[in-house]
Amino acid sequence: MPNRYDLTGKTCLVTGGAKGIGRAIVQLLVENDARVRVWDSSPVSIAGVESEVVDITQAQQITAALQRWSDMDGPDVLINDAGYLGVARGFVEHPPLDWQRIISVNLVGTMQVTQAVLPHMMRVRRGRIVNLGSLAGKEGLAGIAAYSAASAVVIVFI
């Protein structure tokens, strides 16, 4: 039997909730009665979930999306799950533009969303932030050096 949590009245923001682990998190939050909003580069179609296409690498899109939360007082829980693996290649052959995209989504995006949401949580003196990183950040994996580096920073980001 899965664990059950009472998240009634809690609003959760999940970045990267359109597929994979993020989507599974969104579904669990909904099953536990949370109000869920997803920011992703793809729209999400899950009953009871509000979805918005937000590029978290763009600070102005984050700010605008938060301003559209006029019906709520901001998130009680932020789950930073958005990630981009990029192209698996040897370090020397890895395209610089792909490195930049990996770092922008996995690291800069996580920090920008957190920086935008945290003032609300501090003002209301409550909230939780969960940052997801990869084991690649602890171990480092051949062919995905940029992803490993970005995940390492997210793991130690408090």
* Structure tokens, 126: 């409550």
Q: Is 52 exposed, middle or buried (0-12, 13-18, 19+ CB in 10 A)?
A: middle
CA 115 to chain centre: 13
Residues 6+ apart with CB under 8 A from 71: none
Which amino acids are annotated catalytic?
147
